């Protein structure tokens, strides 16, 4: 069986339906073939081998509940910040954000790994702000944000979210409409 179908990803649900991971489709197929998981949403792509024809699953569910170790901190990623802030610039509140800005610049002692210190920003605002503090610019401080909850965030924080996944993420991530 060819399991190196690059770029195709499968959402993995715990037995409780909680989204817990995004894996390469090859790994998802192995989980299904070894009866560790069942297909919840079949995908469109069909995988062939001499003995098996299988639809590459978009969403699978583990047959047994897997206890996920609690993680105190979700690592900060640029994509995670952009998703959290809805791809909207926190400074001008209009432009589409494509960059991540440190509210307190790193050169001024601002933390990089602190979710509250990293915000989505458009290129224009990011460039205008440069290494200055908001107080020096007269820009209002953005509302404080807490770090995302550790579990389901891992799914949306690290992977491109497929539209077929959206119903399975609702209620778990607090993000009802995640931009693709
Ligand atoms: Zn802006």
Amino acid 2: pLDDT: 44
Distance 95 CA to ligand 1 centre (A): 5
Rounded distance between C-alpha atoms, residue 170 and residue 163, angstroms: 12
Amino acid 6: pLDDT: 60
Alpha carbon separation from 150 to 21, 96, 133, 144 (Å, rounded): 12, 26, 29, 18
Amino acid 32: pLDDT: 93
Compute the 3-state secondary structure of the chain and give helix, strand, coil in percent, each to the nearest 5: 25, 25, 50
Question: Which pTM does this prediction carry?
Answer: 0.58
Amino acid 174: pLDDT: 45
Amino acid 130: pLDDT: 95
Strands (DSSP E) found in the chain = 9-13, 19-24, 37-48, 53-62, 99-102, 118-121
Per-residue pLDDT 10s for the chain (180 aa) are 444 456 788 999 989 888 888 888 889 999 999 999 999 999 888 877 787 777 889 999 999 998 876 655 677 888 888 888 889 999 999 999 999 999 999 999 998 888 899 999 999 999 999 999 999 999 999 988 877 766 656 666 666 778 888 888 776 654 433 443
Amino acid 55: pLDDT: 81
Question: For ligand 1, a single-atom ion, which residues have Cβ within 5 Å?
Answer: 89, 91-92, 95, 122, 125
The DSSP result for 151-169, as a single string, is TTHHHHHHSPPPGGGHHHH
Distance 175 CA to ligand 1 centre (A): 22
8 Å CB contact between 72 and 79:
no
Amino acid 20: pLDDT: 82
Place of tokens 């206890």: 67
Distance 121 CA to ligand 1 centre (A): 5
């Amino acid at each position: 069986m060819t399991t190196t179908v690059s770029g195709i990803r499968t959402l993995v649900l715990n037995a409780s339906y909680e989204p817990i991971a995004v894996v390469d489709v090859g790994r998802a197929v192995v989980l299904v073939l070894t009866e560790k998981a069942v297909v919840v949403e079949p995908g469109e792509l069909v995988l062939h081998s001499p003995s098996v024809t299988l639809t590459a699953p978009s969403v699978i569910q583990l047959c047994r509940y897997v206890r996920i170790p609690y993680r105190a901190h979700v690592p900060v990623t640029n994509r995670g910040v952009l998703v959290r802030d809805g791809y909207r610039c926190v400074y001008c509140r209009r432009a589409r954000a494509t960059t991540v800005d440190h509210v307190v610049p790193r050169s001024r002692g601002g933390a990089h790994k602190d979710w509250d210190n990293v915000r989505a920003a458009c290129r224009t605002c990011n460039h205008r702000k440069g290494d200055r503090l908001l107080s020096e610019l007269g820009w209002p401080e953005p509302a404080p944000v807490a770090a995302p909850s550790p579990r389901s965030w891992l799914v949306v924080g690290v992977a491109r979210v497929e539209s077929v996944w959206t119903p399975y993420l609702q209620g778990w991530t607090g993000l009802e409409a995640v931009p693709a």
